[in-house]
Chain A
Amino acid sequence: MALSSRQFVNICKRCALRINTDPANSSLLSNSTSPNLKFYALLSHAIPIQYKNNSLMRDKNLFEVSYQMREYGLWGLGGKKNLDTAVSDAEKIVGYPTSFLSLRCLLSDEMSNVALHMRKLVGTKHPLLKTARGMVFDGNHNLQMKGLFVMLISKAAGPSPQDDFVHEEMVSGVYPNQRSLAEIMEIIHTSYLIHKGVVNLESVLPEHGPVADMEFGNKMAVLSGDYLLASACRGLAKLGNPKVVEEVASSIADMMTAEFTNYTDPDGKQMIPQSCQGFSDWLKQTYFSIGSLLAKSCQSAMRLAGHSDHFKNMAFAFGENVSYAEQLAQDIKPFTSADELPGLSLTSAPVLLYRERVPAEEFTNLERLWQEGPANYHEIVSLVLKSGAVSYCKELLEQYRDKAISSLDCYSESEAKSALVNMVNAVSHVR
């Protein structure tokens, strides 16, 4: 059953719809991506789903072409060669990116509905637009990578030790339910990103534009986030393993917890509470917001294949430590590269370590500088650099990276394992 022309036209239509939701003058497009290219990228994303659906990889050429478009056309921009290579190598190892559950979500009537309504949001300042753009154009491979970690560790752990598992079920060394789990995790993360963009209407300032626009944006954000979450619930239920459902649900609870610790105010802006415990709080916050989901997903992937408790624990440790390393690398970037300066965060690891190193009044001074806005970012960076907090951060980063890599020791050598190591090195790379 090849891709029928009607199906093809439908997919094109829907892709076109989605592309139209991007404002033509967005900063994204000035990044040398033409709308046309993006169209192809979306399309190439769309084509393999047909192969998945009829599980016949017949027209391999088309698949290959579309696949390459996706790799080089959309994602391969900028100077992130290391990461790009690691990710594309890893994708080849696991066959195809994920189970395309998220794509099915995107192509559903519900999401098309949202896409249609989102046109009205174009030109407003609602964060949902930025999140939606991020979904199409994910320069840091953030979403893609999370799923890849889960699939690679599944492959590295190998087939189930129990006899009653059928090896033929595996595609490129990954069980279908592990693949689904990887996708479910990506969907959960996406819905979290979308819900994080809900705006408190009381905090809307005049320069954000009319409140009605924001209200409408909220509506779309709540609905689309909920839709994704519901799809994730359904996907989880289909895995048929209550323990896995419980683990993944608990990681959703953890993510929500991250929004109520005092490191963000009710509007989602960063702040440092009086009760700050320094770096241990950073670890906690990072675990809640990103670590828990990845760690518990890796652990659940082991559970789905019936692996030993030792494998489960190691997979958990891997997911947790990778998250710390990745977040540390992200946090350090604004201090080492001028391009990344706008990404400076008050709750980043270097700032919290700075707080531990200097007298209270000096930190109050830094907080004051932060409140005054981005003009002072240069000064903040030089203050923190001088204290030596950044180089200590780099040491910590290496420790967590090494911990992550050594938690893979229990798995025998394989291309999946070395791809994992490559990816860990790539995400924890800082200049």
Chain B
Amino acid sequence: MATTGSSGRVFLRSLKTFRRSYSFVRTLPENINCAANIPATKDFEVFPNNESLIRRLHSSPTSFHRCCRHHHSHHHHGSQYCTPSKYQHTGSICPSAEPNPWCSIPNQRQLSSTSPQQLRNMKVCSMAETDPYKIVAKEMEDLAPDICKVLEVDVAKMQHMSQYYFGLGKAFRPMVCLLMAKVCNNHLNIGDDVLESQRSVAMVAEMLHTASLVHDDVIDAADERRGLESLNKKYGQRQSIMAGNYILSKATMLLAQIGNPQIISLLSTVVEDVISGEFMQLGSKEDENERFQHYLKKTYKKTASLIANTCKAVAVMSNVQEDLVDAAYEYGRNLGMSFQLVDDVLDFVASKQAMGKPTDADLKLGLANAPVLFAAMEYKELQPMIMRRFSEKGDVEYARAMVEKTDGVKQTKMLAARHSDEAIKKLAEFSPCPARDALARVSKILLEREK
């Protein structure tokens, strides 16, 4: 009972934040007030509902005449709602006199009318093009060796298998986590250093992520990971699972040593979310709208939850006030969503460039990712294929062709860009510092990454 109550409160709070950050909401007519369309469950469902709401309202192609001039130029046939420009916050903001009631991106006038302070803060991302990794280089340097130290044990094979992947990946999650820690510490003038406990959370983030990768590779029968032969290929499935569990248990111990029950609770939610996201991936929904909801919820649980909750955890530890803890969480959530959406796009695009032929890893695993779901909105014949998980001959090729025919990839990119923008907006609540600029850059770089 208590859980429902608190999630209800969280929802209300997030609704308020939502209203605050989307000034356009106020311009919507009463009867299509967003709030009425948002199911009172979890805050991450705010976006898609609004999306489908806009889609429904725009079912006639003439409707995009109502959009502002700037955004109009970005419109293409088949995409019925406004395209957010990725340069939106860098100064080239829509000069239109008429605000578009349907467009989710606030234009300059709306921004300046809300808060000049906020507008100034938003320019952060046009600032110094520093490498985000550089700012936390000191903290990142020994991250992998320190994790390996945590995993030390006098059973040689288990130690080797559990340390196998560390120091090879991008270490994206700990980097975001450490940057967020700096942003929060700077906000309270604690200093430029990251607390030892915050660094532990960064380590736990990487460990949990790696443990889930090890198990994922067994489930998906992947042969390669981080440029190496995957653990399951090299040492067999059985001991890989055990090694993954070992990493998880050591991460839990490291977490417990911080000694803060709230942090433990946050990270245990991550573990639960990751596995329940994995389960959600097993099924899909018949109904079109529900299916997209299902996809977004899965994406939150599988990818965004880890980033969001670790950002929240470091914010909690720096002791910033509650609304900033929420902002940190929201930054992480949006970043995570954007990250996964770009991943989905890359599944279609990068494979083609890198290998000269498409690989469509997701489709082959029977997973309908965002571009396919967008394509299925136009081509209903994809629906039975989604339900049977592209298991029949020719399904994968057909789905691929449909994605190319529609602008599923583009729409996915747009959604990713929106989450990325939203993430940057959340940073405005913190006082400026190099780490904050770096986080803003992270969110932008993500959209352009090719790997």
Contact = CB atoms under 8 A, between A and B. Distances in A.
Interface of A, secondary structure class, is helix
Interface string B120-147: 0000000000000000000000000000
Interface centre among A225, A231, A237 (most CB of B within 10 A): A237
Given A256-B246, A257-B155, A246 B257 contact: yes
Given A227-B279, A237-B264, A260-B158, A243 B256 contact: yes
Contact of B258 (A117, A227, A242): A242
Interface string B270-288: 0110111011001100000
A218 B246 contact: no
Nearest to A221: B241
A218 B257 contact: no
How big is chain B's contact interface, by range? 35 or more
Contacts of A307: none
B278 A218 contact: no
Interface in A101-125: 109-110, 113, 117
A241 B256 CA distance: 9
Interface in B238-259: 238-239, 241-243, 245-246, 248-250, 252-253, 255-259
A215 B245 CA distance: 19
A215 B271 CA distance: 24
A187 interface: no
A310 to B, nearest CB: 23
B235 interface: yes
Contacts of B241: 195, 198, 222, 225
Contacts of B155: 257, 260-261
Nearest to A260: B158
A230 B252 CA distance: 11
Given A215-B221, A227-B279, A230-B272, A242 B256 contact: yes
Given A215-B221, A256-B242, A240 B275 contact: no
B215 interface: yes
Interface centre among B242, B243, B248, B260 (most CB of A within 10 A): B242
Contact of A113 (B258, B261, B265, B282): B282
A33 interface: no
B191 interface: no
A237 B261 contact: yes
A233 B153 CA distance: 22
A261 B274 CA distance: 30
A259 interface: yes
A233 B271 contact: yes
Interface stretch (A16-24, A42-50, A171-179, A199-207): A199-207
Interface string B193-208: 0000000000000000
B275 A226 contact: yes
B330 to A, nearest CB: 22
Interface in A282-327: none
B368 to A, nearest CB: 17
A145 interface: no
A229 interface: yes
How big is chain A's contact interface, by range? 35 or more
A249 B278 contact: no
Interface centre among B218, B250, B256, B259 (most CB of A within 10 A): B256
A234 B267 CA distance: 9
A110 B235 contact: no
B245 A195 contact: yes
Interface in B185-241: 215, 218-219, 221, 235-239, 241
Contacts of B271: 229-230, 233-234
Contact of B252 (A113, A195, A225, A233): A233
Contacts of B321: none
Contacts of A243: 256
Contacts of B243: 256
B86 interface: no
Interface string A206-242: 0000000001001100110111011101101110111
A238 B236 contact: no
Given A201-B237, A238-B265, A252 B259 contact: no
Interface in B148-186: 153, 155, 157-158, 161
Interface centre among A218, A226, A252 (most CB of B within 10 A): A226
A267 interface: yes
A202 B236 CA distance: 7
Interface in B44-95: none
B21 interface: no
Interface of A: 109-110, 113, 117, 195-196, 198-203, 215, 218-219, 222-223, 225-227, 229-231, 233-234, 236-238, 240-243, 245-246, 249-250, 252-253, 256-257, 259-261, 266-268
10 contacts: A110-B279, A196-B238, A199-B238, A223-B275, A223-B282, A233-B248, A241-B261, A259-B238, A259-B242, A266-B238
Given A199-B237, A233-B252, A260-B242, 15 more contacts: A198-B241, A199-B238, A222-B218, A229-B248, A233-B248, A237-B265, A240-B261, A245-B255, A246-B253, A250-B253, A260-B157, A260-B239, A266-B236, A266-B239, A267-B238
